[in-house]
Chains A and B, each alone.
Chain A
Amino acid sequence: MTAMRFLRGPATARTGQELLYVLAGLPMGLLGLAYVLVALGAGAGLAVVFLGWPLIALTLLGARWFGAVHRILAQRLLGLDVGTPELRPSHGFVDWLRVRLTDPVGWRAVGFLILKPLLGLLTLALVVACWIGGLGAVLFAVWLATRGGFWQVLFLPAIVGVALMVAAPWVTHGLVQADRVLVLGLLSPTTLTERVRDLEHTRAHAVDDAATQLRRIERDLHDGTQTRLVALAMKLGMAREEPDPARARELLDTAHAHVKETLTELRDLVRGIHPPILDAGLPAAMASLLARAPIPATLHIDLVDRPSPAIETITYYCTSELLTNVAKHANAQYTTVHLEQRHDRLRLRVTDDGDGGARPDRGTGLAGLTQRVRTVDGRLDIQSPPGGPTTVTIDLPLHT
């Protein structure tokens, strides 16, 4: 870390956001703690008369809600994206009771709500001490200066004050890291078994996907290229045995046209397997994709590091499919494609000004895209109110 970056600490936007997080998080945290203690206490007390059990179940639901608020705070202010845990479905009252009471997400949220205020108080105390202390020392030095004190005397508080103020953002940042760990550990959607289930599911899909792609390639080669070559061989065979030169010439011309068509088909097929332009990097590949897009599209790229080849390929094909979708279903005039890198994640956003109403189950291939993205631990999000505009956001890790 360079000295300049260290000294500029107090003035960055991140500092402001983290400060806001600390200040906003504490009241929510205290409220959450109070809620948990009161509600769980009541529930436990009433457990003997059975009324307590539904009460505890409802408390867990409420705890999840509090957790969601904290998650949103963390996402907006800290840039921490952990994803939303799913609510497990249930059938009937007894099943609902059972599912809610054994919900690991709910209990982990309760754990979070208990720990968060403690951490929050500690953080706030230290942060306030640094900032206020630093500011106070500096003001004290200024007051001494107006009183005409000795330079050496006022030098010390000034230095201490400035040092505290410069260090404060780093202290904040360090303490907020502990908060991040807490959020990541207790509010993220997956425990180990859920993770394993998720991986098994996405692996099965990856294997199916690979097999389907191979079958598609085989079909394209068989029906397209192989057939054309047979037709070509026929024409050439006929030309060889044709005594009339003019007729033979005709046959050769047709054969020549066949060859050119076959080459074009092969070129498209190869691009479908692995577009050569991808080797030159995503910016070049995306630009070439947009140049061929059926609807006018603009591209904004903000990439610093080069993603792994698998991620580049997935990003390329997702963009290609999304653009095709827009042309086929959206009735749009214009598309924008944003590709940006945030920390170690890649975010692809395709927006169109069309009719909206896009859903994963409407044969748009969005479900397939979601699955493929999940195989590399990515996520796909659709915002498509009826009437438009539509934005599809894909979040991927930078490296597999």
Chain B
Amino acid sequence: MRIVIAEDSGVLRDGLVELLTSRGHEVSAAVGDGDALRAAIADHRPDVVVVDIRLPPTFTDEGLRAAIALRRHHPDQAVLVFSHYVETRYATELLAGRPEGVGYLLKDRVADVSDFIGALNRVAAGETVLDPEVISQLLTAGRTSGLDALSPREQEVLALMAEGRSNTAIAKILVLTYGSVEKHVTSIFTKLQLPPSHDDHRRVLAVLRYLRS
């Protein structure tokens, strides 16, 4: 995969480049601010863009703005946004347009190298990847609105569905049989009155729409 990285901390930028190249990816460009990012994308047209939310000059949300602007001009460009902390507001803004090919992760996730690479692949393939931390904040916010109807196990399954995991992956993570997961998923969709879907990706959107309403 060809990747462009935007991260203002030199230490982290170099580490990411090393991580990605050691896994066989090509880092077309590694830049430190929003303008350089726009130029690099125009030059290289990468498969996926990894951008830190906090970039110079104001160090507030330039990276986020750049990502949203980017998606407006090139709706097919896969973008993975990451940050030291999670704000559900940022997630909402990111997903407001086309959520396909968009990801939002905590920088801490980089520590789990395989997970990070996996998330990158999924975003590049057009899926939606959200950090579990975002999901848990959304779940906490939505707790009063009918999620009480779900059993604790069902809530776990819901959280993993919102992360974009397939039933197989959920079964593996929660140590359940594939059949139990399917049953839980059907139950969840019924209780929350969501349109049933077997497409993992559409499930994410459905769940998210529900959680944000």
Contact = CB atoms under 8 A, between A and B. Distances in A.
A305 interface: no
Interface stretch (B41-49, B106-114, B125-133): B106-114
A204 B165 CA distance: 52
Contacts of B16: 234
Contacts of A219: 59
Contact of A238 (B11, B84, B113): B113
B15 A234 contact: yes
B113 A226 contact: no
Contact of A230 (B59, B107, B114): B107
Choose among A223, A231, A235, A236 the residue with the greatest number of B CB atoms under 10 Å from its CB: A231
B15 A241 contact: no
Interface in B85-123: 107-108, 110-114
For the complex of A and B, 10 pairs with smallest distance between CB atoms: A233-B111, A237-B113, A231-B15, A227-B9, A234-B15, A231-B11, A237-B111, A230-B107, A234-B110, A231-B12
A280 B12 CA distance: 38
B113 A241 contact: yes
B84 A226 contact: yes
Interface residues of A, number: 17
A256 interface: no
A241 B108 contact: no
Interface in A216-265: 219, 222-223, 226-228, 230-231, 233-238, 240-241, 258
Given A230-B107, A234-B15, A235-B15, A223 B9 contact: yes
16 contacts: A222-B84, A226-B84, A226-B107, A227-B11, A233-B108, A234-B12, A234-B15, A234-B16, A234-B19, A234-B111, A234-B113, A235-B15, A237-B111, A238-B22, A240-B113, A241-B114
Nearest to B54: A222
A248 to B, nearest CB: 11
A339 to B, nearest CB: 39
Given A226-B84, A237-B112, A238-B18, 8 more contacts: A222-B84, A230-B107, A230-B111, A231-B12, A234-B12, A234-B19, A234-B113, A236-B111
By secondary structure, the A interface counts as: helix
Interface residues on B, range: 10 to 19
Contacts of A236: 111
Given A222-B84, A238-B22, A230 B12 contact: yes
Contacts of B59: 219
A230 B10 CA distance: 12
A238 B14 CA distance: 14
Nearest to B14: A231
Given A222-B84, A226-B84, A238-B19, A233 B11 contact: no
Interface string B158-177: 00000000000000000000
Contact of B110 (A222, A228, A233, A241): A233
Contact of A228 (B11, B22, B108, B112): B11
A235 B15 CA distance: 7
A233 B109 CA distance: 9
A237 B12 CA distance: 14
A235 to B, nearest CB: 7
A237 B19 CA distance: 10
Q: Which of B14, B18, B59 has the most CB of A within 10 A?
A: B18
Contacts of A234: 12, 15-16, 19, 110-111, 113
Interface string B6-29: 000101101110110010000000
A48 B110 CA distance: 87
A230 B183 CA distance: 39
Contacts of B107: 226, 230
B60 to A, nearest CB: 12
Contacts of B112: 237
Contacts of A238: 18-19, 22, 113
A22 to B, nearest CB: 64
Contacts of A226: 84, 107
A237 B114 CA distance: 9
A37 B82 CA distance: 79
Interface string B136-154: 0000000000000000000
A228 B110 CA distance: 12
A334 B108 CA distance: 48
Nearest to B106: A230
Contacts of B22: 238
A222 B12 CA distance: 13
A249 to B, nearest CB: 15
